[in-house]
Structure 1
Amino acid sequence: MRLFSSTLLSLVLLGTLPTACCSTTDSASNSCQGPGQTPTDPGGVQVTRIGGGELNAAGQTWPYQLLRLEVPGRAATYAQWFPPRKPGVSPTVMITKPYDGISWTGEAVDAKWASRGNGLHPDDSEPHHGPGSSPIAFTPTTPEIISGEAFVYLFHDFGVLAVFGRFYAGGDLQNDRDDMNAGMRFLAQASNVDTTRIGVFGGSWGGYEALYAAADAPATVTPRVGVALSPLSDFAQEVDYVNRIVPSRVSDPAMRTRYQQFFEPYFRRIFATTGGDPVTTSGTDYSRWDAAHLVDQVQTPFLILHDDWDTLIPVEHTRALASLAPQRFTPLYFQNTGAVNWNTLAPDHGPTLAANGSVAITLGVGHLLLKLGAAEQTLLIPHADGGVRAWLQGVRALQQQDRDVRDVAPRLLELTDPRVQMFEATVGSVQPGAAFVAAQVNAVWGTSFTDATIRAALEAGLPTP
């Protein structure tokens, strides 16, 4: 259930690759940041700095720390932490990283997977792996890569915490949930974090982690805003989807087998926590792993982006979640035209979301910046040249089919905020958000809005085709 990250657009904003220095697994030799800058432990999280370095980009430097976070009775969690540089307290974004392979922990499991390298490998660090188990994909990362993804927030003087779920290391659902909770507990004790302005961001399995990070967050650090791309929000429904709905949609035996092989490693982790298939296995417990639980526990407003042809995590999950608590879960659906053929549609997060990945990141990152940024702060939101216009052309085609696209105008309206400057590095353009949005809308709908009139127009909805 892998999904693109915000790395690409962060590097577009940067214009050049960042560099990092002083990475080490020996905390005694880490001279980039003094030990006094690592927060103490007022709330049961033991924090050990096992490395660090700094991001050098755009003529500036941002120190980071590589941390082990330990909550009593739980396995260790690992995170990369960029403390805010400004005096006082600052907004902070927590990024969920379920799959990224890290090699700096000192644990044998990370060394083993790092030696294997990028690609498909046996899922043999998971306790229930055995004959017939499917392999999993391993994608190594480095502090430099994480720094590139963090840059868009660091540039705005935010702190950034990347929390690694380490799917490849085994474990179960509860272990992943514990990892995210350890990250939130860390933010609760970090003295330079504005605990009223915390955001959380994740996609796919990381979207599940983002939702549950908010659900379990200590009251003092309840995130102000969350963004989840194609999140898994109901595990009972996901098992039902794979085991019963997919076979009803997909008649091709080879494609059915492909689904089963893909989901097998996920089901091992799900069943290790819940006890098995909720329909065929007695004694299972999904009470803490469904939409009703999220509605009861999540106080954070979330923007959720989802493709209506997502074959990994069906869009019905998000529709159900949003219908239960529309004041808390705001969806944006990437809709497809034409008729779907489930026998030929590959298991992925949907063709329209894939084609408009840069747009999803622009809207998601922009939403976080707008909700967390200061009232008078200039917000530089990256975009890919032509991306928003191409997406809107598809939206107009949906209008012509009488499809409901009322969820689009509010997202465009956000980009017209007076604080926003839209940035595109490949052509070197920077322009006010209102002027940018007016130009895109005019080009697609043939209108003549200006930066002074586009906000009022979008408050009434999109133009008619």
Structure 2
Amino acid sequence: MRLFPTTLLALCLLGTFPTACCSNASPSTHSCQTPDETPAEPSALQVTQLGSGELNAAGQTWPYQLLKLEVPGRAPTYAQWFPPRKPGVSPIVMLTKPYDGIAWTGEAVDAKWAARGAGIHPDDSEPHHGPGSSPIAFTPTTPEIIAGEAFIYLFHDFGVLAVFGRFYAGGDLQNDRDDMNAGMRFLAQAPNVDTKRIGVFGGSWGGYEALYAAADAPSTVVPAVGVALAPLSDFAAEVDYVSRVVPSRVSNPDLRTRYQQFFEPYFRRIHATTGGDPTTPGTDYTRWTAAHLASTVQTPFLILHDDWDTLIPVEHTRALVSQAPRRFTPLYLQNLTTVDWNTLPPDHGPLLTAHGGPVITMSVGHLMVALGAADQPLYVPHAQGTVRAWLQGVHAAQAQGRDVSDVVPRLLELTDPRVVMFEPSLGTLQPGAAFIAQEVNAVWGTGFTDVNVRSVLAPGLPTP
């Protein structure tokens, strides 16, 4: 379930654009070719460095490594690692990358998909592919693209680990879960990692990977904070939704077919792990439900979800939150009219797309406020006018009598004294408290200031 690109808004921070290069690049694949063994505990995780490069931005350089991570008895996992540059230990953000196509692994499956290029292709690397199977989308990425997405965290002296799930390469649910666990195991043994300040971020299928990365994390590296956008959190409920709920809501036969075709590749991977439909005797979903996550995840997560999401219904997040409200904090994007199931396409909802900028602003802000040092300026990117547009929708929902109490904690977070709001296209900087006061005043007609905005917002939003 692909989500909008999360390339961050701060790529021109301080007036410069980041560039990245491989030190051992192949001109045909732009991959890094020279293998190099990195010491690792042989009984735990074997780490092989396949290549290296660097990101150049804002007059600074951040080296990275392209890694193969191997746990005995499992398929290899691949990751791009930006080690912390500062002496001592630093915070880390782990990015889950389920769909990004990488061409530097040396595996035939990656070379095959790289040769196909971006587009829709047969899902023929998945073992259960056959006649009638639906194709999947493939999006190639490069170390340069990943470096751009990591830049906002690197600029704050965080380390970044991007872990690739390689959906296109086949496998099943357990394989994806193993990939994320390999990433966490790597952080448990990597040098200069502040194991008390690890964050994890992912959306959609990557949101599922983020939740399970936290659920399965070794005890020494349990993430301190997580953000998941429209995550798949209950596979039994998801199969039931697609198989039985969607047909009960959607009468348009063409739209029903679109749903079935879209989810068919996912069902193959789900059934390969669980044994089949949850109503079938002998299948096992016990480790793939909201109840399992509620009982195993110790990391506090911010979960953002559009209430018109037709791929992963918002009811699944509501159910997860209800089971562990102290660990799972939601922010719901609320549409104001009635859902017409026969006109809505299968996607993550109109507001998650329309307000993609504020969603990333709040996600990045949440991670950095939780992980940043006590005296560290935290530059949070935003695009001019986008936060105000989102708040105007919140105001309209409030006027309809909707519960919008989940909004104030996100606004208060951006008033943290360390936060500086950065608008990259204009190059402007503004203290977070002044920015939030300005935006709330513009929408609600109030007269808040940077001095009092935290105290006056704490009880709730102004009356519409």
TM-score by length of 2: 0.97
Match of 2:4 in 1: 4
Instruction: Describe the SS at the equivalent of 1:11.
Output: coil
CA distance in 1, matches of 2:247, 2:311: 13
2:79 and 2:163 in contact (8 A); partners too: yes
The 1-side partners of 2:40 and 2:267 are apart by: 38
Contact in 1 for aligned 2:32/2:66 (Cα 8 Å): no
Q: 1:99 to 1:10 in 2, by over 3 A?
A: farther
Matched letter for residue 402 of structure 1:
G
Q: Any unmatched runs of 5+ in structure 1?
A: none
Between the aligned partners of 1:444 and 1:391, the Cα distance in structure 2 is 10
1:196/1:221 contact within 8 Å kept: yes
Superposed displacement of residue 428, structure 1: 1.6
Q: Offset of 1:24 from its aligned partner?
A: 3.0
Give how far 1:6 is off.
2.9
- Separation of aligned partners in 2, 1:10 and 1:86: 22
SS of match in other structure, 1:120: strand
Matched residue type, 2:153: Y
Q: Distance in 2 between matches of 1:5 and 1:41?
A: 36
Deviation, 1:2, is 0.8
Distance in 1 (alpha carbons) for counterparts of 2:35 and 2:370: 32
Q: Secondary structure at the match of 2:9?
A: helix
Kindly report which structure 2 residues correspond to 1:24-423, keeping only aligned pairs within 5 A, or say none.
24=24, 38=38, 40-41=40-41, 44-279=44-279, 281-423=280-422
Letter in 1 for 2:363: G
- CA deviations over 1:206-253 (Å, ceiling 9, x no partner): 000000000000000000000000000000000000001001110000
Give, in whole Å, the separation in 2 of the partners of 1:172 and 1:34: 28
Q: Is the 8 A contact 2:69 2:77 kept in 1?
A: yes
1:88 partner SS: coil
CA distance in 1, matches of 2:214, 2:21: 32
In the TM superposition, what is the alpha-carbon distance from 1:10 to its structure 2 partner?
A: 3.8
Q: Separation in 1 of the partners of 2:33 and 2:128?
A: 41
Would you say the 8 A contact 1:438–1:454 is kept in 2? yes
C-alpha deviation, 1:429, in angstroms = 1.0
Please, which runs of 5 or more residues in structure 2 have no aligned partner?
Answer: none
Relative to 1, partners in 2 of residues 1:209 and 1:33: Cα closer, same or farther, differing over 3 Å? Answer: same
**What is the rounded CA distance, in whole Å, between the counterparts of 1:365 and 1:132 in structure 2?**
41
Alignment RMSD: 1.7
Deviation at 1:196, TM superposition (A): 0.5
Instruction: Name segments (4+ residues, structure 1) moved above 4 Å.
Output: 30-36
CA 1:4–1:11: 2 relative to 1, 3 Å: farther
**Kept after mapping to 2: 8 A contact 1:32/1:53:** no
CA distance in 1, matches of 2:51, 2:442: 50
Deviation per CA, 1:361-402, whole angstroms, max 9, x where unpaired?
000110000000001110000011111000000000001110
Is the 1:410–1:458 contact (alpha carbons within 8 Å) kept by the matching residues of 2?
Answer: no
Give aligned-pair identity as a percent.
78
* Residues 297 and 432 of structure 1: CA distance in aligned 2, closer, same or farther (over 3 Å): same
Number of residue pairs aligned between Structure 1 and Structure 2: 460
For 1:84 and 1:92, how far apart are their aligned partners in 2? 8
Q: Contact (CA 8 Å) 1:24, 1:104: kept in 2 or not? A: no
CA distance in 2, matches of 1:35, 1:250: 54
Contact 2:207 2:228 in 1 (8 A): yes
What is the distance in 1 between the residues matched to 2:114 and 2:7?
21
TM-score, normalised to structure 1's length?
0.96
Structure 2 distance, partners of 1:14, 1:310, is: 36
Specify the SS of the correspondent of 1:146: helix
Q: Is the 1:103–1:110 contact (alpha carbons within 8 Å) kept by the matching residues of 2? A: yes
**How much does 1:5 deviate?**
3.7
Shift of 1:35: 6.5
Question: Residues 390-421 of structure 1: CA distance to partner in whole angstroms, max 9, x if unpaired?
Answer: 00000000011100000001000000000000
Aligned partner of 1:435 in structure 2 is: 434
Is the partner of 2:197 in helix, strand or coil?
Answer: strand
**Structure 1 pair 12–277 and aligned structure 2 pair: CA distance change class (3 A):** farther
SS at match of 2:79: strand
CA spacing shift, 1:152–1:135, aligned 2, 3 Å: same
Q: Contact 2:36–2:48 (CA<8 Å) still a contact in 1? A: no
Distance in 2, matches of 1:305 and 1:396, equals 18
Q: What secondary structure is seen at the aligned counterpart in 1 of 2:65?
A: strand
Q: Secondary structure at the residue paired with 1:273?
A: helix
One-letter code aligned to 1:272: A
Residues 254 and 33 of structure 1: is their aligned pair in 2 closer, same or farther, counting only changes over 3 Å? closer
Shift in Å, 1:17 = 3.6
- Contact 1:43/1:185 (<8 A) preserved: no
Q: CA separation in 1, counterparts of 2:12 and 2:382?
A: 8
